[in-house]
Chains A and B, each alone.
Chain A
Amino acid sequence: MSAIGVGSAAGGAGAPARSRPGPPARRRKRLPATPAERVLHWALVGVVTLVFAFLVIPIVIVVLESFNSADYLSFPLEGWSLTHYRRFFADSAWVDATLLSARIALLAAAIATVVGTTAAWGLARGTGRGKGLVFALLYSPLVIPIIVLAMAYYFTFADHRLIGQWQMVAVAYSVMGIPYVLVSVSSALQQFDPELENAARTLGAGLPRTLLRITLPSLTSAISAGALFAFVIAFDEAVIILFVAGNDSVTLARKLWDSVRYDLTPTLAVAGTILIAVCVGLFVLSELIKILRERRERR
């Protein structure tokens, strides 16, 4: 039983990248391509290239504009300079907004990670009725339109005089991060053999010790991936903050929004680049964790 579980888990882990029938067979099959097929193939490559350009160019443009030496947004760039970075970091409003975003995101990610991981373990070990409902409750923030969540928090915060309190903003964002942690940790738990927990317990370890020494260590990469996603969401979410920020908790996203509406300057591109850098950096980090882990498992 457990052997089958482990086997399929190992297959599952490699599946997304490698499970398709091997390339050698396909390559052999592809040699006698008809001219029509070749045309179709290059047409496909052309379309795909265009779509990738469409996906990537807007991101690149924001980064490029942040180095523009002109005082207005222009393309092609007038010249390269760090003026706008200097301006950004000299402006305490932008710096404070960035720090506040980081603080909110850290707290939100911490809450989401604890709640999501606990729930994922409970769902994996619990029996029978109610599990579906619990999962639906924790997963649903992902499906609900954000503007609806924003209204919900706006009304509740207004009713209880909580508008502008950054801790409450973080709590609201943690709710949005929980589904990601839940899904990430749940899928890791499916590949985790519960017999390992049982083994530790039969050898005399209590449940807290088993969880701490056996279960948690093997979930590290899933938990950190979930935590990173939760952080990214809380760091750059823009809709809820527009309603619950008041005048006090001006996050980077909120400040960015105001500036887009009232003065379009290249400083905005700096803020945008920082948001991109944080998201991409954390994403690369999570990929690295994944790769390192795969390598360790292969040994």
Chain B
Amino acid sequence: MTARTTVTRRPPGDDLRPGRVPPRRRARRPGFVTMALGLPVAFMAIVYAYPVGAMLLKSVTEPDPGFGNFTKAATDGAIWEVLAITVRLSLEVAVLTVVLGFPVAYFLSRTSPRRARFLALLVVIPFWTSILVRSFSWIVLLGDNGLVTRLMEPLTGNSEGMLYSESAVVIAMTHILLPFPILIIKGTLDQIDASLPRAARSLGAGPVRAFAQVYLPLALPAVVSSGMLVFIIGLGFYVTPALVGGPKQSTIAVVIAQSVQVNFDWGLAATLATMLLVLATALTLIVRRLTKVKGLVSL
């Protein structure tokens, strides 16, 4: 950076007064950059780091100082059960989103750019629609009078909707998280050289073999990391399990909300939130390590 500045500082001529420019720039530039970094950091420290820190602290101070909350949570069978449900739901959703998302990403990366752009809209618009609205929509669709229920009735002979069940939560969460794998995997597939599978074909591999042995290994990092991303996001889900699921589908987030709003147990809520934060952060760092996929905002 500094090296480049010295180079351009040499005046290209004209009405420039060489004596004045360098000192001014040297004097002001660091000040502005420091401010441009310092003010946002100060803002984040006050309105973000402080609340999160205070919450973390509550897990060891509320109601009594010490690790009582953690030992209580660790010895409570119900908490373990909730943890297991949360992990199972997130796993199911992660697998489903990847399995459904891959063909779409593949199709989008192969089709003409114009069509891909239009179809990507159909992925991005649900993505930007409120999670609350989409959960509500699944309540309508899966309810006793819902479209899905009506359509399924001749097949299953069951006139009751599958609302408030695990399938309902999995379907709704899959719908909400599906855009992530599609967009991430598409980003990677776009960069795979199309001549590689073609080369495999010309060397005698069948279409399936060329896909499985040449294409898929190149796509795999994106598949794995997007699946893990969905898993991580799924762990913290609150709105969908709370609205679409029943009491058996209580996730960690739902239990956190309950302990704050119903039981007024701030200590337990803070403890579970801390555990969730640590788990999510650790998994995110692992994903980062495994792959270089930046992921989240690849729009």
Contacts and interface: CB of A to CB of B under 8 A. Distances in A.
Interface of A: 1, 16-21, 23, 26, 29, 34, 36-37, 40, 44-45, 47-48, 51-52, 54-59, 61-62, 65, 73-75, 115-116, 118-119, 121-123, 125-127, 130-131, 134, 137-138, 141-156, 159, 171-172, 174-175, 178-180, 183-184, 194-195, 198-199, 201-204, 206-207, 232, 236, 238-239, 242-243, 253, 256-257, 260-261, 264, 268-269, 272, 275-276, 279-280, 282-283, 287
Contact of B129 (A149, A194, A276): A276
B296 A142 contact: yes
Given A54-B100, A148-B55, A195-B8, A272 B175 contact: no
A59 B123 CA distance: 11
A126 B37 contact: yes
Question: Interface centre among A121, A145, A172, A243, by most B CB within 10 Å?
Answer: A145
Contacts of A268: 136
A131 B34 CA distance: 11
A147 B256 contact: yes
Given A154-B260, A198-B8, A58 B132 contact: no
B2 to A, nearest CB: 8
SS class, residues of chain A in contact with chain B:
helix
Q: How large is the interface on B (under 10, 10 to 19, 20 to 34, 35 or more residues)?
A: 35 or more
Contacts of B139: 260, 264
Nearest to B42: A115
Contacts of B276: 145, 147-148
Interface stretch (B66-74, B217-225, B265-273): B265-273
A41 B281 CA distance: 40
A231 B261 CA distance: 28
B190 A125 contact: no
A116 B41 CA distance: 10
Nearest to A142: B296
A26 B112 CA distance: 11
Contacts of B100: 51, 54
A272 B260 contact: no
Interface in B59-104: 100-101, 103-104
B140 A152 contact: no
B248 interface: no
SS class, residues of chain B in contact with chain A:
helix
Given A73-B140, A195-B8, A276-B133, A145 B36 contact: no
Interface in B267-285: 269-270, 273, 276-277, 280-281, 284
Contact of A125 (B33, B41, B195): B33
B131 interface: yes
Nearest to B134: A58
B158 interface: no
A44 B106 contact: yes
Interface of B: 1-2, 4-5, 8-9, 11-12, 16, 21, 24-25, 28-29, 32-37, 39-41, 43-44, 47-52, 54-55, 58, 100-101, 103-104, 106-107, 109, 112-113, 116-117, 119, 121-126, 128-141, 143, 145-147, 150, 175, 178-179, 187, 190, 193-195, 198, 206-208, 232-233, 235-236, 238-239, 243, 252-253, 256-257, 260-261, 266, 269-270, 273, 276-277, 280-281, 284, 296-297
Contact of B130 (A73, A116, A253): A253
16 contacts: A18-B113, A36-B207, A51-B103, A56-B122, A75-B150, A126-B37, A151-B270, A179-B297, A183-B297, A194-B4, A195-B8, A201-B21, A238-B130, A257-B132, A280-B125, A280-B128
Nearest to B147: A75
B54 A156 contact: yes
Contact of B37 (A40, A119, A261): A119
Given A55-B175, A143-B280, A260-B243, A155 B132 contact: no
Nearest to A264: B139
B47 A44 contact: no
Contacts of A37: 207
A192 to B, nearest CB: 15
A1 B8 CA distance: 12
